[in-house]
Amino acid sequence: MNIRLDNAPLTDEQLAQLNQLLQGMESWQVEWLSGYLSGFRAAQDAMQIPALSVPDASGESAVKLTILYGSQTGNTEDVAHLLAEKAQANGIECKVFDMADYKPKQLKSEDYLAVLSSTHGEGDPPDNALDLYEFLHGRKAPALKHLQYSVLALGDSSYEYFCQTGKDFDASLAALGATAIVPRVDCDVDYDDAAEGWINDLIEALSATTAISTTPTVNLPVQSTEKTVYDRKHPFPAEVLEKQVLSGRGSNKEVLHLELSLEGSGLQYQPGDALGVYAQNDPELVAGLIETLGFDAEAMVELDNQQQQLSDVLLHHREITLITRPLLEQWAELANSDALNDLVADKTALNEWLRGRDVMDLVQAYPIADLDASQFVGLLRKLPPRMYSIASSQAAVEDEVHITVAAVRYSAHERERTGVASTWLADRLTEDSKVPVYIDSNKNFKLPDNDDVPIIMIGPGTGVAPFRSFMQEREERGAKGRNWLFFGDQHFLTDFLYQVEWLAWRKSGLLTNLDVAFSRDQEEKIYVQHRLRQKSIDIWRWLQDGAHIYVCGDADNMAPDVNEALIDIICKEGGKNRDEANDYLRQLSREKRYQRDVY
Ligand SMILES: Cc1cc2nc3c(=O)[nH]c(=O)nc-3n(C[C@H](O)[C@H](O)[C@H](O)COP(=O)(O)O)c2cc1C
């Protein structure tokens, strides 16, 4: 089929080239290309989406919406762009800003504002939202009585401070006198439907505020801005090509290297992106839960308007290893138990009780009389995908994607517990199993565009995974920038992940510096932050040379300890006090020279 568009804004030559390209393509490739083009456009427009102005009677555009997003790993950013697309299609002029690039003083001149933010740490704002967050909560925050706004919060209901940053933005805007156009929506890990509902409500409300109802409405489907055929909602079944145990015999850990095939998927990823994996729960845990509840495994229950077998639903579709706050609250209502009500009311005791416990513990400790299977399933949240930092570069491995997986196994409250995805991948994945995957792009963990820029990578344990991808990419690109890796784990002999590759890169000169910290190979514990302090002069020098610093891995201890070490280094070598060193690090973060992917 030839395209014949007499008024297409293309030259005859361009039209002929386009026809030639399209004719040679399979339908899935065409679909991928259309997604690629809109992703390409969204990337070009990331800072400012050219407005599709709809003049009102005065010749002015009717509604001007400013969209601000606070996002660490890109989910909220995708939703912000989706809002922009939909708003424009509905005749609303809008601009999208990364919160870090938005001047807070501009707030005074906004009329319509959409604030989208995720929550990180323990209820903290994502890095790019910090400045705006502090401004709105500080003494310089202006009165915003004229402002109409709405907040979309992204989070995870298994965290104590669910969607806290979104809640805080909402409260601070309200406190400054702004009026909510539509109420805030708090989204859990499966945010697509809730986010789409909020977008539609907001657009409807904005449209109603002005005379833009004559504008033709285009209903765009909710999807990520980087539209590929396979995405979060439609994962690609990836074949397992290789499964290898990285940790040596005698290690306290079990770490796997997994290679999956993306052949035929059209999926593209960049170093720093993550792989979303839809895993299965442990069949023994599912069986035990069904037995404890006295249900029939083959009973049919309703899920998404379909009748499905209970055991299948619990195996594939529902979270059973985490007790989320909404589940707990609903359980407390149904259980009618004074003991559970007391526990829910006592935050400290509750947090203590929740540690290491799962749905089976809740069922056993606080049984509910007359609970039926459908009701039970209705109380559980969707089984969310698990994210793994990608450990390969497509420039090097083409149709493959590699991940590094630490099998999570521990004993708590007299029962052996396992991590859902890690033990599914480690124990139950057979040669011909397919792993449903998608690419979770992370714009905040990216190599510098300039290949001459030096990079410092701090990635103990499985945190080293993305740095293997960085090195493969820099090798393929022939990048001249210096590369320095800080790696740490328990023992040199058993836990030096990808040792052969690091040493080969060290030898070839690609890896300019390598510092390792094996915590249990000597009396005193040595961690990466100790190695950083030991190399403080060189680190400061690299920073002066424009180095980018990357930290990946444990969010609870490692990331704060490394942050502290960096502050100490900046104080000591840069002659700054703590506040100045903090500002220095904050500025690096704004310039995307200090990027963290911690979990
Ligand atoms: C290290 C870490 C800490 C998190 N802390 C919270 C939290 O305290 N409260 C919450 O609701 N969600 C928390 N989340 C979940 C994120 O908000 C959620 O994954 C969100 O979709 C991320 O959106 P983003 O990609 O735009 O940053 C946390 C996620 C990570 C990785």
Instruction: Provide the CATH number for the domain around residue 339.
Output: 1.20.990.10
Domain that holds residue 273: 236-279+385-440
Do 467 and 591 belong together in one domain? yes
- Contacts of residue 593, defined as CB under 8 A and 6 or more positions apart, other chains included, come to 546, 547, 548, 549
Position 32 in a domain:
no
Pocket test for ligand 1, best of 75, 118, 161 (most atoms within 8 A of CB): 118
| CA 450–ligand 1 middle distance (angstroms) | 30
Q: Give Cα separations from 266 to 399, 433, 461 (angstroms).
A: 9, 20, 31
To 5 degrees, how large is the angle CA 274–CA 276–CA 281? 140
Residue where a domain terminates, one of 440, 465, 482: 440
pLDDT of residue 160: 93
Task: Name the 3-class secondary structure at 261.
Answer: strand
Q: Is residue 471 part of a domain?
A: yes
Distance separating alpha carbons of residues 339 and 334, to the nearest angstrom: 13
Domain count, the chain: 4
pLDDT at 440: 96
Do 149 and 172 fall within a single domain?
Answer: yes
Structural contact between residues 222 and 199, judged by C-beta atoms closer than 8 angstroms:
yes
Question: Is the same domain home to 339 and 475?
Answer: no
96's enclosing H/E stretch is strand 93-98
Pairing of strands 148-154, 185-187: parallel
In a domain, 219, yes or no: no
Q: What is the pLDDT of residue 96?
A: 98
- Ligand 1 nearest-atom number relative to CA 126: 27
- 476 and 428 in a common domain: no
Residue 448 lies in a domain: no
The verdict on the CB of residue 122 being under 6 Å from ligand 1 is yes
Ligand 1 neighbourhood includes 74 CB (under 6 angstroms) = yes
| pLDDT at residue 261, rounded to an integer | 96
Which of 72, 117, 554 has the most ligand 1 atoms within 8 A of CB, as the residue to mutate?
72
CA 156 to ligand 1 center in whole angstroms: 6
CATH number assigned to the domain comprising residue 55: 3.40.50.360
CA of 126 to the centre of ligand 1 (A): 8
421 and 484, same domain (yes or no):
no
d(CA 269, ligand 1 centre) in Å: 21
Q: Is residue 39 part of a domain?
A: no
Q: How far does residue 294's CA lie from ligand 1's centre (Å)? A: 35
CA distance 551 to 449: 18
Q: CB–CB of 495/253 below 8 Å? A: yes
Q: Is there an atom of ligand 1 within 6 Å of 128 CB? A: no
244 and 186 in a single domain? The answer is: no
Q: Report the nearest atom of ligand 1 relative to the CA of 598.
A: 1
Q: Amino acid identity of 563? A: N
Task: Indicate whether 33 belongs to any domain.
Answer: no
Q: Tell the residue nearest (CA) to atom 22 of ligand 1.
A: 118
Asked if residue 532 and residue 496 are part of one domain, the reply reads yes
547 inside domain: yes
Claim to verify: residue 351 and residue 398 sit in the same structural domain: no
In three-state secondary structure terms, 402 is strand
Q: Is 291's C-beta closer than 6 angstroms to any atom of ligand 1?
A: no
In short, whether 71's Cβ falls inside 6 Å of ligand 1 is yes
75 plus 191 within the same structural domain = yes
CA 119 / ligand 1 centre spacing (Å):
5
Long-range contacts of 530-536 (CB under 8 A, 24+ apart): 530/565, 531/486, 531/488, 532/458, 532/486, 532/562, 532/565, 532/566, 532/569, 533/565, 533/568, 533/569, 536/568, 536/569, 536/572, 536/573
Is the residue at 1 inside a domain?
A: no
For residues 363 and 465, membership in a common domain is answered with no
CA distances to 4, 10, 11, 199 from 7, in Å: 9, 8, 10, 33
Report whether 268 contacts 228 (CB < 8 A): yes
Question: How do the pLDDT tens digits run along the chain, 599 residues long?
Answer: 455 555 566 667 676 777 777 766 655 555 556 655 654 554 444 444 333 334 454 545 578 999 999 999 999 999 999 999 999 999 999 999 999 999 999 999 999 999 999 999 999 999 999 999 999 999 889 999 999 999 999 999 999 999 999 999 999 999 999 999 999 999 999 999 999 999 999 999 999 886 544 444 444 443 334 455 899 999 999 999 999 999 999 999 999 999 999 999 999 999 999 999 999 999 999 999 999 999 999 999 999 889 999 999 999 999 999 999 999 999 999 999 999 999 999 999 999 999 999 999 999 999 999 999 999 999 999 999 999 999 999 999 999 999 999 999 999 999 999 999 999 999 999 878 899 999 999 999 999 999 999 999 999 999 999 999 999 999 999 999 999 999 999 999 999 999 999 999 999 999 999 999 999 999 999 999 999 999 999 999 999 999 999 999 999 999 999 999 999 999 999 999 999 999 999 999 999 999 999 99
